[in-house]
Structure 1
Amino acid sequence: MELYYTSHVMPQLSPRNLSSGMAEAHQAVAFQFTITPEGIDLQLSHEALRQVYLSGLRSWKKRFIRMRNSVISGAYPASPYSWLFAVVAILATMYTRSDPSMGLIAKIQEHLPVSESLSVQSQMVVLALLLGTLLWFSFIFTMRLCLRQLLSYHRWMFELHGKISNTTKVWMVLMKLFSGRQPLLYSYQASLPYLPVPAIKDTLRRYLESVQPLMSAAEFERTTTLAAEFENSIGSRLQWYLKLKALWASNYVSDWWEEYVYLRGRSPIMVNSNYYGMDFLYVTPTPIQAARAGNTIKAFLMYRRKVNLEELKPSRIPGTVIPLCAAQCERMFNTTRIPGEETDTLQHLQDSDYVAVYHRGRYFRLWVCKAGRLLSPREIEFQIQRILDDPSPPSQGEEKLGALTAGDREPWARMRKQFFSSGVNKRSLDCIEKAAFFVTLDDDEQGMMGDDPTGNLDAYAKSLLHGKCYDRWFDKSFSVVVYKNGKNGLNAEHSWADAPTVAHLWEYVLATDAFQLGYDGEGHCKGDIDSTLPRPQKLTWDIPPECEEQVSRSLSVAQALADDVDFHVFPFRDFGKGRVKKHRMSPDAFIQLALQLAYYRDRGTFCLTYEASMTRLFREGRTETVRSCSNESCALVKALESGEEAEACRRLFRLASEKHQNLYRLAMTGSGVDRHLFCLYVVSKYLGVESPFLKEVLSEPWRLSTSQTPVQQMELFDLVNHPEYISCGGGFGPVADDGYGVSYIIVGEDLINFHISCKYSCAQTDAHRFGAHIRQALLDLLAVLDTDQKEPIRSGKTQAKKDQ
């Protein structure tokens, strides 16, 4: 009898690769022993044992680096070396027989338990260590407290450009002094201020102001009465509980937001929650699918290494030293959303040495490390090509298994518990869920190409958002999609982080792929290939008929949802932020007002508008809502549509822009409306009390949901010498069944890319029609700023009638 113990699962072999597979299988054997009548014949593979040793060494190196970084970040804004300075300084004063501690040294010496057994010199050293460490911790605490107070100052955001107060000038100097040098990624975390709880009367006042233009006089009076009753009854009680939580928790919003807005949702996360990011708009670095996958995967792993080693610089507000919270980076890789019958959970691992790959209905494990090093892009390309060339068919029920992650959450949770909790299915599912990230090798070709580039760009967006509804793993923190023609993109799960965090990652990947890693003259990745690499491991499944039936039902639900999504993506090249900034106006405010004008022309009315704003100025901050539809924006739209004089429209334009900027600043600095009301509602549910006001507020539909994708690392791209390497940004599905989802990215000085979504099932919405309204609204608003004549402004609607 012979027993074999292997360090890897044996690869599946076919006649085509039998000889190479046998060689790899031989190398995979770590040790082998044979039981014979003469005893046990033991054979060791030195190469395999070397791999085990190198893997362990790599693991311990990572632990050491994490420990070192924890010490550095824990001491920030002071330096760990300042501890040695404090100890030496105390020791020096003791040798000079001076007592800077004002008697504290003597008190410590009296209570030192081993003082009698130590020499005088040793006692001085111990006392210096104790007192120096105490002073060092006190110094760190004081520095951190001062930095937190400085970061709590937000008045600078509300000051006019060029009119900085003396207080802000002093604050800027102190910020530079207390910010320290060369902070790591998480260095600022302990110094960030906590998100404040706004006064309830201020939140209610801002809420009423935001809904006034959307209601009749009678409706507004009724809502005002409800708000007053809420404030005078249970409002103060709910506010008290919320303030108590704010004293205890690091962020009074984020955990509830993650739990109740994302993880407790039982409807599909595909389309409804997940979002996507696109490749370069006009170029594809290589047409070879395996090569593009090789560089892309390598770039992701390089970014992960930077996150693990905290080599990324902390994100800051552009043009300032003000840091943003980096907590969302912690769960970027090795993270999966695990379905539950009542609520989902997030599973995060410290590390993972492989990625999960999907191709033509088969799932593979692709190892990305060997002998303690990351594979080169050329080696990853080689392994990807092996997957592309693998002729093996999918197992029974394997091809469309991913549809479980695209359908309703409760059936997926039941199937996972019933059929994936043991045996081969558990091992294969664990492989996917514990992978660094998920990769789909898509057989379709996508991009802005062919005879219909506009239509193909729309199809590209839909493909990234939902694909075939079974060829993505929507539960992974993100899934990378590489198409047959070399185009790529990604689909991101929303609960663990917001779009700016993923956008920062995606910018790095695109720039590293094109400008740092590059390709050879034939379009292949650069580098050498280790021919002894074990083949990617094909995962095996045993899917019973009952599970297959649920896969079909989930696929039907997901397919109906995907087929209902109408998408339109278009680049606006007539002008960009450069032209807008010449008029001393915020580009974001300009676009938001254009969206208000476009929606009014599209639907003939105004609606509650959601614009995403970040609260990452605070610890563990996520997002807040800017209610972009205001009294001022409505007045501007009505003036434009009624043909008022240009001067009057310009004045209203300035007022609306300033109002929007103020709303955005309030949201960023913790004085928004919606997160506060959301948390008050959660507290009311915990207490078992009903509030007609809160119930009504949280049931209001967001028929226009908007978000800007920020460009955070413009230095990585050279738009002067390589203007064609432009990111197209990303988008998301519609929030309301009868509304629009609009994402936009401002690239350089002369380009704005728009991503518009709605539902075919709503007869009142049309993505292409709304896109045309946006384009015309942008042109009309610029005409308001450009014209100097006191003449009526002709709207796009009026101009169209005259052209007819």
Structure 2
Amino acid sequence: MAEAHQAVAFQFTVTPEGIDLQLSHQALTEIYLSGLRSWKKKLIRLKNGVITGVYPASPSSWLFVVIAILATMYMRSDPSMGLIAKIQEHLPVSQSLSAQCQTVVSAVLFSTLLWFSLIFTMRMCLKQLLSYHHWMFEQRGKMSNTTKVWVALVRIFSGRQPLLYSYQGSLPNQPVPAVKDTVKRYLESVRPLMTPDEFERMTSLATQFESSLGNRLQWYLKLKALWASNYVSDWWEEYIYLRGRSPIMVNSNYYGMDFLYVTPTPIQAARAGNTLHAFLMYRRKLNREELKPVSTVIPLCAAQCERMFNTTRTPGEETDTVQHWQDSDYVAVYHRGRYFRLRMYSSSRPLSPREIESQLQRILDDPSPPSLGEEKLGALTAGDRIPWAKARKEYFSLGVNKRSLDCIEKAAFFVTLDDDEQGMMGEDPAASLDRYAKSLLHGKCYDRWFDKSFSVVIYKNGKIGLNAEHSWADAPVVAHLWEYVLATDSFQLGYNEEGHCKGEVDASLPRPQRLSWDITPECQEQISQSLAVAQALADDVDFHVFSFRDFGKGRIKKCRISPDAYIQLALQLAYYRDRGMFCLTYEASMTRLFREGRTETVRSCSNESCGAWDLTRRLLRQASEKHQNLYKHAMTGAGIDRHLFCLYVVSKYLGVDSPFLKEVLSEPWHLSTSQTPVQQVELFDMVNHPEYISCGGGFGPVADDGYGVSYIIMGENMMNFHISCKHSCPQTSSHKYGGQIRQALLDMLQLLCPDQREPSRTDQSQTKKDL
């Protein structure tokens, strides 16, 4: 087989004269360079580990402490108060050293111990400082003296030039809220959604839980919080994501879109060349920890970044697992039903964008058909998890199938060269955006590898997109990567006049390696069954994507209201107008202020938001302030749902039933919402180049009779919305709900800021023309 011959570095035959050994110098050179690259990475990791391990001090500060101690001893002073003499008495090599050498060695040992003690003290101080969150609850522009002192101390103890993971050891653990506080907030959140009788019944269940079982379960959670880095995250990953047995396509995975108005090049291979090279640049920065830690006022946890590349989700019959490898020098590529292994390095250097383009063009020009059963193999990752786990064990655990599957799973990431054309185009740009979203969310149900940490999709017309698996990280982490790739592709790498990548091509590069498969009829039958399940799920998704350009966060801020609260209230009003009722609403909030934090739920449907639809300015402002308060509590570890979820997990471990927890955890989220934050504003010039605007991303509906809404606030004058629901539910329609959102945004602005001039049709037309 061709791939076997390419892997052989030497050949030998046994002859009457002895062993005839023939070495391949090119293969041995590649092995040497690959090993050299691997050792360089190990040394970089070791160096960064030392720097991060002593942060907020620096390794050079050790020398400063040693010199200071020796200098004071030279001046006939003993800063150790006798400890250096004690160390000298117990030196194991004291007899072989002179008295002066013994003193110096003892002083160095004391200095080292003192240095470690100072580092520990600084870290503990910084950890306590980062546990202070009162600054979030102060009015904008009015900072208390306590917060001012806190800001100064944080700057003193934060150190200089931090690496990506420098703050990990100083981040506080996520606190466990009191049971009574969580129960109180829960009852407050469901009060507007229940009848008096229902609320009285729920209050009774909650009171009974709080006074009996709740305290017992809480004790176990506090014990876990003392022992584990985060009392929520591991259970959240396992029970919410990895133990789910339904398809992860649509139900869990999410997507990110390309620029809305610009396609830098229409050449598919060229766009792929720059894009893949930008991913390698980001991975290089990630491995070297050269990325700046993401921060608000204080740094956020970066633990989720560790599994960004070289990661896959492996199916199991009871639970899946997330597997991560330290390094991978290739990507897996899918095109027209065939799988390829594309090496991204040559002689220990990364391929240039032009070389990647050339290699991908070889794949595009390859006329070979897919082997039997290969074309729709990816459907196994799109269907139910148990059949995929059984098929993987039965058909992919030995031989050529195992080698090819390992190649895909261990790849840096997955790439699809799609034959379709997508983006905002044609006579009906609105409908084309809807098709674009559905393509990124599920494609043909077999042309993505949904288990990979993320799959990059390159369309025939040069448009790109991304589909990400959810268990290993949350959307803001992937969004940070995606922002870097889009900006690097267009503003740093660029294209020549013909639309090709810049640079030269090494003609000696080996061709991409075609993966081989031996798909049995029984395996083909399982592929067909998984595809049928996935196709039914994909066909049921009703998606609508639209840009709101009448105004943006600039005008909302002039009304002295939070843009996120404004949008959340608009979503509530739109749902009420659409369905004639309010519903339990999920808004994702991050808890990365804490070590290994992930998300918390903001229950944005509140008494205040439900009472605001008399559409009075005062009630809207009260609802906005309530929402902001809920969001801040969620961010600072005082949310409701993760605490209740963990209490429920403990109750299952103990084998006890709680009617209260069971009912709480079974409540459906009819409106699931999330904002995609723009984290690296400095990478984009939205004033001079507003056409370079990402459309954001989206996800599928959480409930069969509900909506999934993702939105991104771009610059001062634009907001993009991604709305999903299911065709099978006659009460929901993504387009109808989208229209209600648009009208709610306009109505609220007119109420809050009636003196602000509405943009005229001429203004809007000119804006669209400029874009």
What TM bracket, shorter-length normalisation?
Answer: over 0.9
Amino acid at match of 1:665: K
Deviations, residues 152-194 of structure 1 (Å, cap 9, x unaligned): 0000000001211100000011111111100000000000000
When the two chains are superposed, the root-mean-square deviation of aligned CA atoms in Å is: 1.2
**Among residues 67, 74, 83, which one is paired with 1:88 in the alignment?**
67
**Among residues 62, 65, 70, which one is paired with 2:44 in the alignment?**
65
* Superposition deviation, residue 29 in structure 1: 6.1
Amino acid at match of 1:707: S
**TM-score under structure 1 length normalisation:** 0.93
Aligned: 1:272 with 2:213: no
Q: 1:466 matched to which residue of 2? A: 442
Aligned: 1:511 with 2:487: yes
Amino acid at match of 1:411: P
Aligned: 1:680 with 2:650: no
Q: 2:85 matched to which residue of 1? A: 106
* Superposition deviation, residue 54 in structure 1: 1.3
Q: 1:553 matched to which residue of 2? A: 529
Task: Tell me the distance in 2 between the aligned counterparts of 1:658 and 1:719.
Answer: 29
Aligned: 1:759 with 2:726: yes
The answer (yes or no) to whether the contact 1:9–1:537 under 8 Å persists in 2 is no
Aligned: 1:347 with 2:347: no
* Superposition deviation, residue 721 in structure 1: 2.2
Aligned: 1:209 with 2:188: yes
**Quick one: percent identity of the two aligned structures?**
81
Q: 2:688 matched to which residue of 1? A: 721
Q: 1:220 matched to which residue of 2? A: 199
SS in 2 for 1:116: helix
Q: 1:525 matched to which residue of 2? A: 501
Q: 1:613 matched to which residue of 2? A: 589
Task: Tell me the distance in 2 between the aligned counterparts of 1:554 and 1:614.
Answer: 34
Deviations, residues 66-116 of structure 1 (Å, cap 9, x unaligned): 000000000100111111111122222222221111111122122222223
Q: 1:169 matched to which residue of 2? A: 148
- Equivalences for residues 391-402 of structure 1 within 5 A: 391-402=367-378
- Equivalences for residues 306-705 of structure 1 within 5 A: 306-317=285-296, 320=297, 322-637=298-613, 639-640=614-615, 649-705=616-672
Unaligned runs of 5+ in 1: 11-24, 641-648, 790-804
SS in 1 for 2:720: strand
Task: Tell me the distance in 2 between the aligned counterparts of 1:419 and 1:44.
Answer: 36
Task: Tell me the distance in 1 between the aligned counterparts of 2:125 and 2:264.
Answer: 48
Amino acid at match of 2:117: S
SS in 2 for 1:211: helix
Amino acid at match of 1:48: A
Q: 2:94 matched to which residue of 1? A: 115
Deviations, residues 656-705 of structure 1 (Å, cap 9, x unaligned): 00000000000000000000000000000000000000000000000000
Task: Tell me the distance in 2 between the aligned counterparts of 1:125 and 1:106.
Answer: 11
**TM-score under structure 2 length normalisation:** 0.97
Deviations, residues 574-627 of structure 1 (Å, cap 9, x unaligned): 000000011221100000000000000000000000000000000000000000
Q: 1:794 matched to which residue of 2? A: none
Q: 1:793 matched to which residue of 2? A: none
The answer (yes or no) to whether the contact 1:88–1:128 under 8 Å persists in 2 is no
Task: Tell me the distance in 2 between the aligned counterparts of 1:315 and 1:379.
Answer: 32
Q: 1:148 matched to which residue of 2? A: 127
Deviations, residues 418-471 of structure 1 (Å, cap 9, x unaligned): 111110000000000000000000000000000111001000000000000000
Task: Tell me the distance in 2 between the aligned counterparts of 1:112 and 1:251.
Answer: 41
* Superposition deviation, residue 49 in structure 1: 2.2
* Superposition deviation, residue 9 in structure 1: 3.6
Task: Tell me the distance in 2 between the aligned counterparts of 1:340 and 1:554.
Answer: 15
Aligned: 1:785 with 2:731: no
Amino acid at match of 1:437: F
* Superposition deviation, residue 788 in structure 1: 6.1
Task: Tell me the distance in 1 between the aligned counterparts of 2:224 and 2:339.
Answer: 44
SS in 2 for 1:527: coil
Amino acid at match of 1:622: R
- Equivalences for residues 243-262 of structure 1 within 5 A: 243-262=222-241
Deviations, residues 33-59 of structure 1 (Å, cap 9, x unaligned): 344443333333333322221111111
Amino acid at match of 2:290: E
Q: 2:209 matched to which residue of 1? A: 230
Q: 1:774 matched to which residue of 2? A: 741
Going from structure 1 to structure 2, the CA distance change for 1:69 and 1:481 (only over 3 Å counts) comes to same
Task: Tell me the distance in 2 between the aligned counterparts of 1:555 and 1:197.
Answer: 43
Q: Deviation above 4 Å: which 4+ runs of structure 1?
A: none
Q: 1:18 matched to which residue of 2? A: none
SS in 1 for 2:749: helix
* Superposition deviation, residue 313 in structure 1: 0.2
Aligned residues: 756
**Among residues 271, 274, 282, which one is paired with 2:261 in the alignment?**
282
Q: 1:795 matched to which residue of 2? A: none
Amino acid at match of 1:83: W
Deviations, residues 537-596 of structure 1 (Å, cap 9, x unaligned): 000000111111110000000000000000000000000000001122110000000000
The answer (yes or no) to whether the contact 1:94–1:124 under 8 Å persists in 2 is no
The answer (yes or no) to whether the contact 2:374–2:519 under 8 Å persists in 1 is yes
Task: Tell me the distance in 2 between the aligned counterparts of 1:40 and 1:234.
Answer: 76
Task: Tell me the distance in 2 between the aligned counterparts of 1:242 and 1:29.
Answer: 54
Task: Tell me the distance in 1 between the aligned counterparts of 2:254 and 2:381.
Answer: 15
SS in 1 for 2:672: strand
Q: 2:673 matched to which residue of 1? A: 706
Task: Tell me the distance in 2 between the aligned counterparts of 1:52 and 1:412.
Answer: 35
Q: 1:798 matched to which residue of 2? A: none
The answer (yes or no) to whether the contact 2:33–2:347 under 8 Å persists in 1 is yes
Deviations, residues 509-531 of structure 1 (Å, cap 9, x unaligned): 00000111111100101110001
The answer (yes or no) to whether the contact 1:210–1:631 under 8 Å persists in 2 is yes
Task: Tell me the distance in 1 between the aligned counterparts of 2:20 and 2:181.
Answer: 81
